[in-house]
Amino acid sequence: MKELWLCTRQYPNGRGEAFLQHALPIWQKQFSRVVVIPMFDGEGEFPVPDGIEVLQLWKDDDYTPLSKHGTLLNAPAVLRTMSRYGDREGRSRRYVLSLSRQLVRKATVFWARMGKSYDPDRVVVLSLWLEDWVTVLGLVKERNPGFRFSAMGHGWDLFEHRRASGNIPFRTYQLDAADQLLLVSGPGVDHIKENYPQHAYKTILARLGTPDHGLAPWAPSPTLRIASCSYLRKPKRVDLLVEALAQLDRPVEWTHFGDGPDRDPIQKAVDRLPRNIRADLRGNTSNADVLEWYATRPVDLFIHLSDSEGLPIALMEAASFGIPLLANDVGGVREIVNGSIGCLLNGHPNVSEILEALQPSNLDRLLSQEFRLGVRSAWQDGFNCATNYRRIGELL
Domain of residue 323, CATH code: 3.40.50.2000
What band does 383 get if pLDDT is binned at 50, 70 and 90? very high
390 falls within a domain? yes
Q: Are residues 278 and 322 in the same domain?
A: yes
Are residues 301 and 274 part of one domain? yes
**pLDDT computed for residue 16 by the predictor:** 80
- Asked whether residue 175 is domain-assigned, the answer is yes
Report cis status (omega within 30 of 0) of the bond before 197. Answer: no
The amino acid at residue 127 is S
At 276 the pLDDT is: 97
Lowest pLDDT segment from 62-71, 202-211, 362-371, 377-386: 62-71
Predicted confidence (pLDDT) at residue 88 exceeds the cutoff of 90? no
Q: Which of 218, 232, 209, 238 is nearest to 324 (CA)?
A: 218
Q: Are residues 165 and 66 located together in one domain of the fold?
A: yes
Q: What is the mean pLDDT of residues 5-32?
A: 94
Which run of H or of E encompasses 150? Answer: strand 150-153
- The neighbouring-strand residues paired with 345 are 328
Q: How far is CA 8 from CA 52, 82, 130, 233, 339, in A?
A: 13, 23, 10, 23, 35
Helix (H) and strand (E) counts in the chain: 15, 13
- Asked whether residue 342 is domain-assigned, the answer is yes
Domain count, the chain: 2
- 219 is a domain residue: no
State pLDDT tens for residues 175-188: 999 999 999 999 99
Residue 73 has pLDDT above 70, yes or no: no
Interatomic CA distance for residues 102 and 255, integer angstroms: 42
Checking if the pLDDT of 50 tops 80, the result is: yes
- The pLDDT tens digits of the residues spanning 133-145 come to 999 999 999 999 9
* Domain assignment of residue 193, given as a range: 3-209+385-395
205 with 248, same domain: the answer is no
Backbone dihedral region for residue 221 (phi beyond 0: left; psi -120 to 50: alpha; all else: beta) = beta
Q: Are residues 67 and 50 in the same domain?
A: yes
Q: Quick check: is 214 in a domain? A: no
More confident residue, 107 or 311: 107
338 and 376 in one domain? yes
Mean pLDDT on 335-355: 95
Write the CA distances from 63 to 13, 55, 69, 82, integer angstroms: 19, 20, 16, 14
What pLDDT is recorded for position 165?
79
The verdict on 120 and 26 lying in the same domain is yes
Mean pLDDT along residues 219-243:
95
What is the value of pTM for the model shown? Answer: 0.87
**Same domain for 176 and 63:** yes
Between 74 and 377, the more confident residue is: 377
Residue 71 has pLDDT above 60, yes or no: no
Q: pLDDT band at 48, cuts 50/70/90?
A: very high
Residue range 121-171, pLDDT digits in tens:
999 999 999 999 999 999 999 999 999 999 999 988 999 987 877 889 999
Inside any domain, residue 197: yes
- Enter the DSSP assignment of 146: T
Q: Are residues 16 and 99 in the same domain?
A: yes
* pLDDT single digits (tens) 186-207: 999 999 999 999 999 999 999 9
- pLDDT value at residue 62: 46
Same-domain status, 10 and 135: yes
Query: pLDDT (tens digit, 9 = 90+) per residue, 233-273?
Result: 988 999 999 999 999 999 999 999 999 999 999 999 999 99
Q: What's the CA gap between 35 and 125, in Å, rounded?
A: 10
Question: What integer best gives the mean pLDDT of the chain?
Answer: 93
Read off the pLDDT of residues 316-335 as tens digits, 9 standing for 90 and up. Answer: 999 999 999 999 999 889 99
> Residue 301: which H helix or E strand, with range?
strand 301-304
pLDDT band at 66 (very low <50, low <70, confident <90, very high): very low
- Considering the domain architecture, whether residues 112 and 237 belong to the same structural domain is answered as no
- Flag whether 114 is in a domain: yes
Summarised one tens digit per residue, pLDDT across range 298-308 is: 999 999 999 87
Strand order in the sheet with 252-257: 277-281, 252-257, 224-229, 301-304, 325-328, 342-345
Which of the residue ranges 87-101, 195-209, 277-291, 349-363 would you say has the lowest mean pLDDT? 87-101
Residues 332 and 365 in one domain: yes
Residue 251 lies in a domain: yes
